[in-house]
Structure 1
Amino acid sequence: MLLLDTNILIDYLRGRQSAIEFIDCTGKPGFAVNTVIVLELYNGCLNRAELAKIRRLLNGFMHFDLNEAIAKAATQIGHSFALSHSVTASDALIAATALVYNLELRTANLKDFRMIPGLKVSNALL
């Protein structure tokens, strides 16, 4: 299962062909999001139509809520990389979700995650 970073979902919502083909061809049951990713998408909404579009996109995705294990892993990531790589709280929680549930993270921003040990991360949309 793949945890999709917010940027890939934004590309899909904006009509970027590579993201559309990747998500439509792979199929929603193969994808997951977490609470942070959902909130980031909602935060970018300008109107009810966009909110409905996001809900339709996420329907069928596996959803991982935040929990104590994710919080602990995110805190460790933040402690290790806040100064050296300016890791954000959101990115730490996204990476921690992937680590805790042994998911591969797909993102358009490898530089935000590639330094995290044990994290399976890729930008491939094949």
Structure 2
Amino acid sequence: MIESAAHPVFLDTSVLIDFLRGRHEAIRVIGALVVPPLSSEICRVELLQGLRESEHADAAALASLIEWIPVVEPISIRAGELGRRWRPSHSGIGAADLIIASTAELTGASFLTLDVRHFPMFKRLQPAY
């Protein structure tokens, strides 16, 4: 849950999809933000590859509001570290989740997702809504 709407927030793909599909909880959470949300370029790929034809314009509008973080060396290195730590006990975590987690971690922003089981590296992580 968001501690303060002015605190930086990192949005996972699940929240972005819910926003596009009109889920009230996602609209409320994103609408309450004071600063532009952050997200990974990996989330952008996941979002775009799953778009319905009718969602393209809304997705472009949403994308323009987000600060997209590229995958750079420190993110890749941290993702590898997270993978070595968590994949032995959580085989369902894929490379995309590791990159998203390392990006969110390195930004220091609050991480909002619905897919809590994919991100065991965040202690006390709860679904965004």
Give the corresponding residue for 2:97. 91
Give the corresponding residue for 2:113. 107
Q: Please give the TM-score of this superposition, normalised by the length of structure 2.
A: 0.83
* 1:38 equivalenced with 2:31 (yes/no): no
Shift in Å at residue 19 of structure 1?
0.6
Residue of structure 1 aligned with 2:24, choices 14, 17, 34: 17
Shift in Å at residue 82 of structure 1?
1.6
> How far apart, in 2, do the equivalents of 1:93 and 1:53 lie?
25
If asked which structure has higher relative contact order (CA below 8 Å, sep 6+), I would say: 2
Shift in Å at residue 116 of structure 1?
1.1
* 1:68 equivalenced with 2:62 (yes/no): no
Give the corresponding residue for 1:51. 56
Shift in Å at residue 60 of structure 1?
2.0
Structure 1 window deviating more from structure 2 (66-75 vs 81-90): it is 81-90
Give the corresponding residue for 2:33. 26
1:56-115: CA deviations, max 9, x gaps?
0121211111100000000111111123112111110000001222122101122211x3
Q: Identity of paired residues, percent?
A: 29
1:19 counterpart SS class: helix
Q: Please give the TM-score of this superposition, normalised by the length of structure 1.
A: 0.85
Any stretches of 5+ residues in structure 1 without a counterpart?
none
Q: Aligned pairs, how many?
A: 121
> How far apart, in 1, do the equivalents of 2:12 and 2:104 lie?
10
1:105 counterpart SS class: strand
Residue of structure 2 aligned with 1:78, choices 78, 83, 98: 83
What RMSD in Å do the two structures reach over aligned CA positions? 1.8
